[in-house]
Structure 1
Amino acid sequence: MKSHFLTLAEALPVLVQAAEAAQDAGARAQAYTLVTRALVKLRPSGLEWISADRAVRAAGEAAQPLVLAEAERTLSGVCRRAGDHDRARDLVLKAADR
């Protein structure tokens, strides 16, 4: 299992660079969502907050409701992990209402 995370970790920077270069907000949102999901598996570093924020911002630009809901769900996981359960709940409920 560890080797799978190492392979993923090596591929993520290339994926993010490609999404940024394509200037496709939806692709950028999905790339940063994947980065956040990987970072959540590691010891908290603060980087998960940055990548989650970038995912939500890009998803908002993309105007793709499902991409935005996934980015917000991922951010809610970061909030929950940090103990901010109210914000996590609010993010999920807001996404469901949309």
Structure 2
Amino acid sequence: MSQNLVTLSDLVARVSDIYAARNDILRDDDWYLLKLQEELGELTAEYLKLSGRGRLKGATPEDIRTTLEDEAADVLAMLLLFARHNQIDLDAALARKWFKHLPAQ
């Protein structure tokens, strides 16, 4: 992984370790994928609110936007944790799957 992704992954892992210890959570193989799915659901709910297709529950558009951004961060963090746990090199995967379509420089 690139240094930026490694640094982010390390920081996210430290926070996840604190979270797991404080809440007595066992992070087994399934936990990483299930938690990623949970966070994606929360991001989807905020997007639906922001687009007028979800219950606002008294939240202002500014509140919803902030929560949408926070949930996007949660999805990214959980993806980094999932990749780390499963020894996935995201840089290599991006190069193989996405960046091969870019014109040669």
TM-score (norm 2): 0.34
Query: Which protein is richer in helix relative to its size?
Result: 1
Structure of greater relative contact order (alpha carbons < 8 Å, 6+ residues apart) = 2
Q: Which has the larger radius of gyration?
A: 2
TM-score (norm 1): 0.36
